[in-house]
Amino acid sequence: MIMITDDARDAILDSLSADGLDPSSNYLRVGVQGGGCSGLSYKLHFDGELKDGDEVFQAGDARIVVDGKSMLFLHGLTLHHTKGLNGKGFEFQNPNASGTCGCGQSFKV
């Protein structure tokens, strides 16, 4: 299970709209790849194609999709979005991470 906060939902929908993409046929793909200062990093991009093993999570009209391999590292994740003084962007509250880097974009398990 992955939770999407209201702020993250709104940011996904705003970004889809800004890119001219329809939320009924496009979604945010969230994944994990090797790299970053803590060993693993999050990757995000818009996609319009489902693949075998994908899991879909929805909040309102916003959908995110996670591939099966990434789901091993992201189960229980809460995706949040901030607009604070220190910058704006997605934040990953990942209960599987045993440590993160200072920017929050990479983690280790």
Average pLDDT over residues 20-28: 96
Q: Quote the pTM value.
A: 0.83
Domains plus CATH for the chain? 3-19+27-108 (2.60.300.12)
Is residue 106 pLDDT above 60, yes or no?
no
Cβ-contact 68, 45 below 8 angstroms? no
Tell me which residue has tokens 């999407």.
4
pLDDT, tens digit, 9 for 90 and up, residues 34-90: 866 657 888 999 999 999 999 999 999 999 999 999 999 999 999 999 887 666 788
For residue 69, what is the DSSP state?
Answer: H
Indicate the range of 13-17, 52-56, 76-80, 98-102 predicted with least confidence: 98-102
Residue 16, helix vs strand vs coil: helix
Give the pLDDT score at 30. Answer: 95
